[in-house]
Each structure stands twice: as C-alpha cells, then as structure tokens.
A and B are shown apart, each in its own frame.
Chain A
Amino acid sequence: MRFEEELVALLPRLRRFARGLARHPSDADDLCQAAIERALKSRDQWQEGTRLDSWMYRITRNIWIDERRAAGRRGVHSAIDDAATQVVGDGAAEVEAGALRGDVDGAMARLPDDQREVVMLVLVEGYAYREAADILDVPIGTVTSRLARGRETLMHYLGEAA
C-alpha cells in the first residue's frame, strides 16, 4: 500500500489518540494535521516494513509534548494539571472526585502529560507495554509505573466505573 493510503487508513485511530491527548476536538485535529505534515516531510525517515502506526503515534506525541512544554514556558499553565498531582483524599478532593464521576474527559485532563499518553497508548489504543515504551522512547519500567499512577488517579476520579 502506498504511504499516503496507509496514513489515511490510520487517521481514525490517530484522531482518537490525539483526542485523548489534546481533549478538545479542534485542538486534537490541529495536532493530527501537524503530525501528518511532519510525516509527509520526513517520510524518508520511515523504514518500509516497520510499523507506520507506531511511527505516526511517536510523531504525534512528540509534537504534542513540544507544544505543551512551549506553552509551559510561555506561562500558559493549566491549573488542572497541578491539581492532578495531589490526589490524596482530603475533603476537597473527595468532593471534586464525586463531581467528576463518569466524566472521562475531566478525569483525563487531571493526569500529568506523561501519564495521560501512557494511559491512551495502553488502555485505549491497546499497545503492549513494549510497544508503548518504543513509541515514547522510555524504558518499559517507566511505562508500567506511569500507567500504575495514571490508573490510580483515574479510578479515584471516576470511582467504581460503571
């Protein structure tokens, strides 16, 4: 299959991944667009016979992380992400968790970036730990520990999932 055709076939899944990272549909599609443009520009770097999906996910994720870091440097800061780091059960957090029951977007937004991307790759996109580690270019132990923390936070906010 041609490179472009394979990419087109991949788009629905890629949009899902981007939606999990960027949350807002239009931001997610902007992210996909940037990823496609970069992929077309650097298509020579993709080795035929290797998985195009992993390569695309890596590009998408790298653009997203770069943007988040740049936004952080500019002082555009999400208060939500700060709140995420302290999930322990004081009264306010319990109330907040109650309000979020069933709100997957809200709960995901409260995960730090590095946990959110692992949750998306493994729990939603269905990648094996090894594959997720390759996409993110981190050791497999980092994947499992981020995943464990991400899960704990999500279970806290979403409660006993329906």
Chain B
Amino acid sequence: MSVDRDIVAAFVDGELDDLTARRIEREAVRDPALAAEIARHRALKAQLTAHYAPVVEEAVPERLRALLVGADNADGVDTSLADRRAAKRARFEPMHWGALAASLVLGLTIGLRPWLPAADVASDKGVLVASGSLADALDTRLASNQPADAAVRIGLSFRDGEGRYCRSFESATVDGIGCREGGRWQLERTQRGRAPTDYRQAGSGELAAMVATMMAGDPLDADAERVARDAGWRAR
C-alpha cells in the first residue's frame, strides 16, 4: 500500500488538508490495497455510528430533564413563591398535556383503556407512541435473545407494506404492535396484556392475526433483526 495507515485514518476522519486528501483519492484509484483500507476504516466508522445513533433518538429520561427544567433554584437562592409556582407549572405542563392527549387518543380510537400504563405509552402530536421501558425494549431487545422473565416480551419483528420495521410485543398491561416511524415506535395496535390469571390463548391469537395482516414478506430472522436494530430500525 502506497500510503501509511495513520494517513488513511486521518483521511477518513477528515483531518487532512484538501490538497493531501485529493492526492489520497487519486492514489486510491490506482492502488486497490489503499482503496480497501479506506473502505475498512469507513465501514468501522459507519458501524459505530449506526450502533449508537438510536440513543440520540430515545426520549431523555425525566430524571435528567428535571435537573435542568426549572433548575433556577439549583444555586440555593431562595426565590419567590411565584417563581417556584412558575417552575412547578413548567415541569408539570408537558406531562399534563401529554397525558391528556394520550387519554383523548385512547378514548377516540380504542375506547377507554384505564389499564394502559402511563409510563410506557405516550402521545406525541396526537399519535400514540411507546415510551419508557416499552420503547427501550422495542429499541434494543432481540426476539432471539431475551430474558425469560422480561417485563416486555418481543414477539415478531417484520416489515409492513410501507417498508417500516414493526415489532409485536406482550407485557403484563398491554400487548400490541409498534412500527418505527420518525424515530419513535408508533403503536398501531394495542390490546389488554396478560394479567397473571388471564386465560390468554385468544389474545395471543388476535395479535398473531394482526401481525399476519400487516406483514409484507417473512418475519426477520435473528440476523436480520440484529442488523435492523444496529442500524436504528431505519426503513430503507
């Protein structure tokens, strides 16, 4: 190879001046070993980027946001009651409206479902989406490799007619199907989850039937599922 490995790394990292970068590009055309090395470096970078990208799309946990939203009192200065009320309102408002919107959506589309846990389902601009531990499970858990006692169990991962990735899931409180769109899991179908005493053959069957009507092609196998997860469930 005509170029030193550190230079290849610097080239891929965008650290070379334009003149040198153009020289490397020209040489890569003539030198297959150099071209392969550049491709190897780019592939690693792409793999790492894709792997960590979903974290940025996750909802920031409330315990972190709460440290900063309404944190004017953090320096210990005693502020007026009005200020504190304003801070409290600021903290409360998004949650309040979210919950209200969620209950409206629920009420309008699938009837009143008081068993839906507020923590795992949220409303984003009027669309029901997974949040909290449900979103975590849909983001990260592989159907092929999940603890037997997981609170949320992933069923099948598949693509729907629009090319979106969708995953069926079951939990104690809610079962359903989430489809990846706009960096979140839209809940396309929901139904009551498995209560410990529930006889749930019928429920499982319904979910499987819904999956069957939505699925385009075959469900993802273990490898395809892993690849899709590592790429952040982005539809191609």
Instruction: Show the binding face of A for B, using Cβ within 8 Å.
Output: 4-5, 7-8, 11-13, 15-16, 19-20, 25, 29, 32-33, 36-37, 40-41, 102, 104-105, 119-120, 122-124, 128-129, 144, 147-148, 151, 154-155, 158, 160-162
Contact = CB atoms under 8 A, between A and B. Distances in A.
A123 B6 contact: no
Given A4-B71, A40-B67, A128-B15, A162 B43 contact: yes
Nearest to A102: B226
Given A29-B61, A162-B43, A104 B71 contact: no
Interface residues of B, number: 40
Given A13-B56, A36-B67, A160-B43, 13 more contacts: A5-B68, A12-B58, A16-B55, A20-B52, A36-B68, A40-B67, A102-B226, A128-B13, A128-B14, A148-B9, A151-B41, A161-B46, A161-B47
B1 interface: no
A39 B99 CA distance: 31
A34 to B, nearest CB: 10
Nearest to A7: B68
17 contacts: A4-B69, A8-B68, A8-B69, A12-B58, A15-B64, A32-B64, A36-B64, A40-B67, A40-B75, A104-B51, A122-B13, A123-B44, A124-B49, A148-B6, A158-B47, A162-B43, A162-B227
Contacts of B10: 129, 144
Contacts of A13: 56
Contacts, number: 103
The prevalent SS among residues of A at the interface is: helix
B100 to A, nearest CB: 23
Contacts of A37: 67
Contact of A102 (B5, B52, B56, B230): B230
A100 B162 CA distance: 33
Given A12-B58, A104-B230, A129-B13, A119 B67 contact: no
B120 interface: no
Contacts of A158: 44, 47
B81 interface: no
A124 B64 contact: no
Task: Give the most central of B15, B55, B226, B230: most A CB within 10 Å.
Answer: B55
Interface string B2-23: 0001100110011100000000
B6 A144 contact: yes
B46 to A, nearest CB: 7
A29 B47 contact: no
Contacts of B40: 155, 160-161
A40 to B, nearest CB: 5
B90 to A, nearest CB: 11
A12 B55 contact: yes
A113 B13 CA distance: 21
Given A16-B52, A124-B48, A161 B43 contact: yes
Contact of B67 (A12, A33, A124): A33
A15 to B, nearest CB: 6
Nearest to A147: B9
Contacts of A36: 64, 67-68
B60 A12 contact: yes
A161 to B, nearest CB: 4
B12 to A, nearest CB: 9
A11 B71 contact: no
A19 B71 contact: no
Given A15-B55, A124-B52, A8 B65 contact: yes
Nearest to B227: A162
B48 A104 contact: yes
